[in-house]
Structure 1
Amino acid sequence: MDIHQLKQEIIEYSKEIGIDKIGFTTADIFTELKERLIRHEELGFQSGFEKGTVEERTEPRRLLPEAQSIISIAVAYPSRMRKDAPKSTKEERRGFFCRASWGMDYHDVLRERLRKLEAFIHEKVEDAVTKIMVDTGELSDKAVAERAGIGFVGKNTILITEEYGSFVYLGEMMTNIPFVPDNQVEDGCGDCRKCIDACPTGAIVQGGQLNAQRCIGFLTQTKDFLADEFRVKLGNRVYGCDTCQLVCPYNLKKDFHLHDEFEPEDDVAKPKLKPMLTISNREFKETFGHIAGAWRGKKPLQRNAIIGLGHYRDQTAVSDLIHVMKNDPRPVIRGTAAWSLGKIGTEEAYEAIRIAMDKEKDEDVLFEMEKGLAFQEVYASKSR
């Protein structure tokens, strides 16, 4: 078997099946990443969504003992909606899903492409051993892609490619075939710190180090009450955050519409907020079930939509929020609705909170109701 020829054939085939970049690296231990992850744990910067131990995340042969190489792939996604995409109005405020959640769930799309690549390899090499991963596996997609020459990991901890900026999905395949590794791309951030300065919550502690506990992208996926300091930063984000990507110079004018699967749908990428408050499980699955941002279920997204209505101080949503505060069985949703009503600040909203407090039993919800009523004094003092 000619390894060099096989590698070239894989590269050519990858283009035929919708893979925009492909790179090859060894299955050696990711030593630098291992040290960084250990330090990350010590600082308490993890999100809690990570899979596997530090060893499993940095030592490929723990996952596939026969591994000799890792093939990394990147698939580009759009950064802009069409010019006539719907906009928020005073009557119908809209939220926003981050760009990585536009279109079909990228986990499914990339797995499908990797399976085709895997089948191609097995046709060429009968005794090939392979293992596919996309995001939810133990290995760091970014670390693999960086070492495979796909791009470099910027100060915002996101992989940046020369062609597509950071608007790419990543996946990898481990194999027992000893491919010649590609050269790693040099870091290209230099003295730039635009992402660090622009992060809404200061989650990028320093270049290449992210405190996930403060990252808006992570916080939109949590299911508990959101801390007040983050509510005021959330804006109309329903899922994810793109700020550190949008300010990156490497993403200037980068907008690729190469794959129909990732084209944003108007009312999914920018959903109306009020209907989200009472959406049923069936409606949620039918509307959002095919996108990456639905993986945590509807509760976090509903909580974020409620905060978004408070952000807009949307008086047309008062009756909807009162209904949720009085009737939703989930304390986080009831309490957040009370907070949002207070933020909107109408007399009807404050009166509804007072009435609801007489029947509410949950201490956390009562605390949120008190915070909602406190806005009345804040607004009053500002008008004096």
Structure 2
Amino acid sequence: MLRTTQWSLTSPNSARSRCSLKPVWCLRFGTVPQAERLEAFQPTGDPYTDELLSLGIEAGLHRIGCTDASPLIEARTAIEQRIDGGLQDEMQFTFRNPNRSTTPNDALDGARSIIVAGLSYATPDVEPPFAVSGRVAKYSWVEYYEPLRRALTVVRDRLRSDGHRALVFADDNSIVDRAVAHRAGIGWYGKNANILVPGAGSFFVLGSVVTTAKLATSSIVDDGCGVCRRCLDGCPTQAIIEPGVVDARRCLAWLLQKPGVFDRRFRVALGDRMYGCDDCQEVCPPTTRRQLRVTPPEGARPWVDVEALLEMTDEELLDSVDWWYVAQRNPDWVRRNALIVLGNVGELGSPRVREIVATYLEHPDPMLRAHAVWAAARLGLHELIPIHDTAPLVIEELRDLPEVRTTRAN
């Protein structure tokens, strides 16, 4: 007999933070349904489908569902609208070819069904351990997509052994993972554009098994955001311009990956972030108050030593962040970000910080010199700034130096 696996979840400080009016939080957070536990999946009533879903849970997945493989028309329309409005900036991924990423049959000829799953990365916070610590978004503490792929492969192999064709897709631009996750009942679209899993929130990596098997479909989850708008108000750069719509040109997670000069308007707002940004999830009540908490895997790196990183060779640096997306695998984009973080949170008056900044002010790459100029100004090291540097990028920085930092930037 098949059994739906469940995890009981508890809110931190629940007696103090819960409203007495169940099953919603008090109105200061908006009327938000309060799911008491995470259900691994909704039984579909079809024995074979439910057996496959149960197999995925046994393989280590936390939430799983199923949808058909028809085109993702709503997702395609949304992508095209964002492209027309320039909201995707230079981001490629599923924006590169909207027709392909929203047509599952392009991923697997003859596709009829998609099993979609989520793996939680809702790990507890860790205190910064270094003199200058750079924050890493939770989804990149380790390579979470590898265990996700392994678990999905168990389901794929079962389908193949039963005579069906099946392929695994995770962190892949062949399919819009949030769109199929929503349709497969994994969760609802939050106003922060993430998929919010009932009873657990949004700290999940998503992946799929596209197959030629005809399977039963899961029910779509009702929207649970209510009138809450904490993510819109909590974004440090106001990148969420309307519910569910993110302007990549303002999103710190994208700006950290984007090649070129980091937009000056958002450097102070970057604070100590080295890779990714969790702010719109960390303020979300369904995520912070009802999450499936997992233990950080071995090798998890929630922080990086910014000073040490800026002293590494190219090979050492890339090895230290090997699961991050780094454009063209060019370590200088990581160094660029690190210089901004150093300017924001580096210890004022530190000899080591001063030495690092001085080194980068003489770097052969004008892009790095330009960001070192900004960091030097933030740290009050104006005497180090090369005012006669003739590189256009450096001249631009010299024309618009930031104010000296007196406290640590958040």
CA–CA distance in structure 2, aligned partners of residues 248 and 161 of structure 1: 12
**2:124 and 2:295 in contact (8 A); partners too:** no
Number of corresponding residues: 356
| 1:53 matches 2:88 | no
TM superposition shift of 1:54: 1.6
Which residue of the partner structure matches residue 77 of structure 2? 35
TM superposition shift of 1:75: 0.5
TM superposition shift of 1:102: 1.1
- Equivalent positions of 1:240-255 (< 5 A) are 240-254=276-290
TM superposition shift of 1:138: 2.3
**1:69 and 1:175 in contact (8 A); partners too:** yes
CA–CA distance in structure 2, aligned partners of residues 367 and 114 of structure 1: 49
Q: Secondary structure at the match of 2:118?
A: strand
- Equivalent positions of 1:260-339 (< 5 A) are 261=297, 265=300, 268-289=301-322, 291-292=323-324, 297-312=330-345, 314-315=347-348, 316=350, 317-326=353-362, 328-339=363-374
CA–CA distance in structure 2, aligned partners of residues 210 and 264 of structure 1: 31
Q: Secondary structure at the match of 1:212?
A: coil
CA–CA distance in structure 1, aligned partners of residues 332 and 359 of structure 2: 16
Match of 1:69 among 99, 113, 126: 113
TM superposition shift of 1:244: 0.4
Q: Secondary structure at the match of 2:46?
A: helix
Q: Percent identity?
A: 28
**2:107 and 2:175 in contact (8 A); partners too:** no
Residue type of the alignment partner of 2:146: D
CA change 1:189–1:37 in 2 (3 A) is same
CA–CA distance in structure 1, aligned partners of residues 77 and 173 of structure 2: 19
**2:123 and 2:296 in contact (8 A); partners too:** no
**2:168 and 2:210 in contact (8 A); partners too:** yes
TM superposition shift of 1:49: 2.5
- TM-superposition CA deviations, 1:215-274 (whole Å, max 9, x none): 11111111211121110110010011111001101012445454664x663xx3211211
| 1:98 matches 2:142 | no
**1:278 and 1:324 in contact (8 A); partners too:** no
**1:25 and 1:71 in contact (8 A); partners too:** yes
CA–CA distance in structure 2, aligned partners of residues 226 and 70 of structure 1: 38
Which residue of the partner structure matches residue 382 of structure 1? none
Which residue of the partner structure matches residue 150 of structure 2? 112
**1:97 and 1:293 in contact (8 A); partners too:** no
Residue type of the alignment partner of 1:308: V
TM-score (norm 1): 0.86
CA change 1:264–1:215 in 2 (3 A) is farther
CA–CA distance in structure 2, aligned partners of residues 269 and 329 of structure 1: 31
**2:123 and 2:295 in contact (8 A); partners too:** no
CA–CA distance in structure 1, aligned partners of residues 342 and 307 of structure 2: 8
Match of 1:10 among 52, 55, 58: 52
Q: Secondary structure at the match of 1:166?
A: coil
CA–CA distance in structure 1, aligned partners of residues 316 and 93 of structure 2: 29
**2:100 and 2:174 in contact (8 A); partners too:** yes
CA change 1:87–1:260 in 2 (3 A) is closer
Match of 1:19 among 52, 58, 61: 61
Match of 2:212 among 151, 176, 190: 176
- TM-superposition CA deviations, 1:26-46 (whole Å, max 9, x none): 111222222212211110011
| 1:365 matches 2:394 | yes
TM superposition shift of 1:10: 1.1
CA change 1:242–1:260 in 2 (3 A) is closer
Residue type of the alignment partner of 1:46: Q
TM superposition shift of 1:81: 3.0
CA–CA distance in structure 1, aligned partners of residues 54 and 346 of structure 2: 53
**2:87 and 2:247 in contact (8 A); partners too:** yes
CA change 1:6–1:192 in 2 (3 A) is same
CA–CA distance in structure 2, aligned partners of residues 207 and 233 of structure 1: 21
CA–CA distance in structure 1, aligned partners of residues 303 and 325 of structure 2: 12
CA change 1:287–1:257 in 2 (3 A) is farther
Q: Secondary structure at the match of 1:221?
A: coil
CA change 1:79–1:258 in 2 (3 A) is closer
Match of 1:343 among 359, 374, 378: 378
**1:235 and 1:308 in contact (8 A); partners too:** yes
**1:45 and 1:213 in contact (8 A); partners too:** yes
Residue type of the alignment partner of 2:138: R
Residue type of the alignment partner of 1:337: A
TM superposition shift of 1:199: 0.9
CA change 1:238–1:76 in 2 (3 A) is same
| 1:157 matches 2:193 | yes
Which residue of the partner structure matches residue 137 of structure 1? 173
TM-score (norm 2): 0.81
**2:114 and 2:210 in contact (8 A); partners too:** yes
**1:152 and 1:188 in contact (8 A); partners too:** yes
